[in-house]
Structure 1
Amino acid sequence: MSSLLSLISAFSPGGAVLRLVGGAGSCSGRLEVFHQGRWGTVCDDMWALPGAAVVCRELGCGDPLSAPRGAFFGEDRVWLDEVNCAGTEAALSDCKTRPWGDNDCTHKEDAGVVCSGNLHPSQVAQIRLVNGSSRCAGRVEVLPNQQWGTVCDDNWDLQDAGVVCRQLGCGTALSAPGGARFGRGSDHIWLDEVHCAGTEAALSDCRAEPWGASNCDHGEDAGVVCSEVAQLRLVNGPSRCAGRVEVLHNQQWGTVCDDSWDLQDAGVVCRQLGCGTALSAPGGARFGRGSDHIWLDDVNCAGTEVALSDCRARPWGESNCTHGQDAGVVCSGVSGVPGAGGQPG
């Protein structure tokens, strides 16, 4: 393998075996390797973060941020296919792969790399979800150039939200609410017209308008609700599918006021918990009075939402209720539950 490296280096400009082109700098872009006197690309079959790690290390570009696929950075000749790196190799040529030029790919499958070194600040933007019930739900905010800002909801959909959830380690996307569902931001609107294929490792890998260019206002701020939110529970009932509704916000459990609480709202809770359909939506602290915050009031669900946090309501923590008005739910996932149909047991 070392003789192959020497041979390639002897014919490549500046002794380089590989390069990244079409990105924001020398440390991000389409991956190209030099072979038989010409540059060519790497197919994205089996392409993943360990391979990107090898490339970043070999180029002295720091740590891998993502391994974009699908010709995100454009197209060229395909030299390598089915590159399978453990991530510990010193060079890409040490990784397992098909023979040079042997591939079944098109240029739509060209592999890319984004490393942490020498990048435009937008390429390493941090991301967070704010004003939701946990770090896995809320308004999407990104941090390029040391300033947090929002994402416009133009074309915002479940595929875009899915990339955010994966990037944050929050599972899959349950919903992609727009219209400033989690409140209006107050700083820059950094991204607009985001269009993710759904396979990207980071939101900054997705196609979008140039950073900071948008025709939106903060009434269009995008939000995300991920599957690993663990934001809802039913307590003090006969099982996990019946009881007082409690939600987790700012790391504290609290209750929901029964103002406007009805079967549609209860139905969203039952579906979110995997407890079937709603049998009743008892109010008046039917399952006992809570003792902590009253987090939600005037909840108004259409009934189609996948999470209670998607429903319209007053801002978190704003209510005119007492715990004597704590809302409850009885779902069909429980048999022989006192209070089914709204009648006392």
Structure 2
Amino acid sequence: GSGELRLVDGGGRCAGRVEVKHKGEWGSVCSYDFDWDHRGAGVVCRQLGCGAVARASPYAPFGQGKGRIWLHPFCQGAETTLQECLHFGWGKHFCDHDRDVGVTCTEALELRLAAGRGPCEGRVEVKLRGQWGTVVDDSWDMEDAEVVCQQMGCGSAAGAYQGNEFGQGDGPINLAFINCDGTEKALWDC
């Protein structure tokens, strides 16, 4: 069950390094970049009840695990649990901790509009790893703004602004170069 899977060092239960429990011991999951994508990460997010995948990253984005590497999985994407994905066997792997995989699920992300004249206007900010940061995009347009407005429950977009129309954010840049067609339900679906 999901009790045998967790995400650690990501600032919340829906983002972090993927770890699985086997024989009472927690261990990491490693993979090569071409094998770790939205399929495997999608299984993890679903298994934990954390929504869809916002980002799937190999190369230990949340730091390297210290103990065992339990799994080197190959997922199709339809599996109910990560443990169901094809793998070489528990503790058998052809990658090291520098390829410990990480996942950020959509439930770990929050969206807000800052420095505007109300909750439906302002600088687009995204919360990632517990920290609010800005979105940088040279091609930010009405389609992108439309998705944000709909996601925030603010109706249709009335304007899309580039540059520092609402002042500069002081947090990190948490998202960059987004291209929406205007029909997506959330910014992370673009």
Superposed pair shares fold, TM > 0.5: yes
Distance 1:248 1:198, change over 3 A: closer
For 2:160 and 2:62, locate their aligned partners in 1 and report how far apart those are by CA, in whole Å: 26
Aligned to 1:190: 70
CA contact (8 A) 2:17 2:60 kept: yes
Aligned to 1:143: 21
Paired residue type of 2:95:
C
TM-score in terms of structure 1 length: 0.40
Q: Deviations over 1:294-334 (max 9, x none)?
A: 7x54x48663699xxxxxxxxxxxxxxxxxxxxxxxxx9xx
Identity in percent:
37
CA contact (8 A) 1:151 1:221 kept: yes
For 2:145 and 2:94, locate their aligned partners in 1 and report how far apart those are by CA, in whole Å: 34
Gaps of 5+ in 1: 1-64, 66-123, 289-293, 307-331, 333-345
Decide which structure has greater strand share.
Answer: 2
Question: Structure 2 matches for 1:91-110, cutoff 5 A?
Answer: none
Greater RCO (Cα-Cα under 8 Å, separation 6 or more): 2
Number of residues of Structure 1 aligned to a counterpart in Structure 2: 167
Q: CA deviation at 1:224?
A: 1.4
CA contact (8 A) 1:133 1:231 kept: no
Q: Are positions 1:173 and 2:53 aligned together? A: yes
Aligned CA RMSD, in angstroms, stands at 3.8
Q: CA deviation at 1:158?
A: 1.0
Q: CA deviation at 1:231?
A: 2.9
TM-score in terms of structure 2 length: 0.68
CA contact (8 A) 2:15 2:129 kept: no
Paired residue type of 2:104:
V
Question: Structure 2 matches for 1:49-64, cutoff 5 A?
Answer: none
Aligned to 2:167: 286
Aligned to 1:218: 97
Q: CA deviation at 1:163?
A: 0.9
Give secondary structure in 2 for the equivalent of 1:228: helix
For 1:140 and 1:225, locate their aligned partners in 2 and report how far apart those are by CA, in whole Å: 10
Structure of larger gyration radius:
1
Distance 1:301 1:233, change over 3 A: closer
Gaps of 5+ in 2: 150-158, 183-190
